[in-house]
Amino acid sequence: MSVLRFAIVAVFFLISLFVLCCNSQLTETFYSSSCSNVSDVVRNLLQQAQQSDVRIGAKLIRLHFHDCFVDGCDGSILLDNADGIQSEKDAGPNMNSADGFDVVDDIKTALENVCPGVVSCADILALASQISVTLGGGPSWEVSLGRRDSRKANPSGANSDIPSPLESLNNVTSKFSAKGLDSTDLVALSDPSMDSTYLNTLQLTCPQGGNGTTLANLDYSSPYGFDNNYYTNLQSNRGLLQTDQELFSTSGADTVAIVNRFGKSQSEFFNAFVQSMIKMGNISPLTGNKGEIRADCKRVN
């Protein structure tokens, strides 16, 4: 082989390595050597947090969902306002409703103490979501890791891309489709035609002209456990939000059959939920040398 040909082959080999590095995929063993106890740290802190906040699991799953729907799973929802950064926390879908940030900060601090500069905030959200589901009695799965954190936030994207509880089923379906998620994912990840008795109960809980801060459970029958009762509630016209109930009550929608399947079989719901969470967690992650590993989830380095 001539020197020139060898040089050309060597250059293409190096380019191939660079492309492989910068487009590396998420893996379940990403922290096996750099922070092998990451799951234990997250689990321990979540168990502590549950002692004072039984809703913390649902809050963290919602943060992961809202994070992934805006420019991918990159931890952008965690950033505070700063020079050059307008926080997604102030966007309509998150303002006065997104919560759990303090627990994410606690997890990050603990991980920085044992594995400084290694675990991303985006991965904390993904891992905390999985562990929260399991602690609530739901299924377990291996989380693919290796996401990196964004250096920017996108509040306008949060306003446009995150489904609203007041939108039509068609609009919500379109927003899921834009992220590569189908109707089964929509039904599995969805946490007015409403039963009149339930409506009266909600009107007493949240009267017209109330202060707007009262909380109501999406699943009135088993609010603190992870099960398929959400879907049996929809079958009884007891979905809390308009978008929830439309999954079952929209005539001709393909979501109706999916609600019926999940309402009939908890194991089928669990299996579908795991696959949908994996798909959602793979939406446009930053990997390789893109983004950064924040030392503090609230601000860029």
Q: Residue ranges for the binding site for Ca(2+)?
A: 67, 70, 72, 74, 76, 88, 219, 227
Annotated binding site for substrate: 163
| Closest to 217 in 3D by CA, of 103, 67, 58 | 58
Q: Is 157 helix (H, G, I), strand (E, B) or coil?
A: helix
Sign of CA dihedral 180, 186, 188, 191: positive
Nearest to 147 by CA among 123, 127, 170: 123
**Rg of the chain on CA atoms, in Å:** 21
- Choice among 66, 147, 148, 175 that is catalytic: 66
d(CA 262, CA 63): 24
Long-range contacts of 127-130 (CB under 8 A, 24+ apart): 127/38, 127/39, 127/42, 128/42, 128/46, 128/60, 128/64, 128/103, 128/104, 129/60, 129/61, 129/64, 129/277, 129/281, 130/277
**Structure tokens that stand for 104 in this block:** 């994410």
* 64 carries an active-site annotation: no
Length of the chain: 301
* Non-local CB neighbours of 123 within 8 Å, separated by 6+ positions: 30, 145, 146, 147
Which residues does residue 88 pair with via DSSP β-bridges, in sequence order?
none
SS3 84: coil
φ/ψ (deg, to 5) at 127? -70, -40
Show the tokens assigned to 260: 């019926």
Report the catalytic residues. Answer: 66
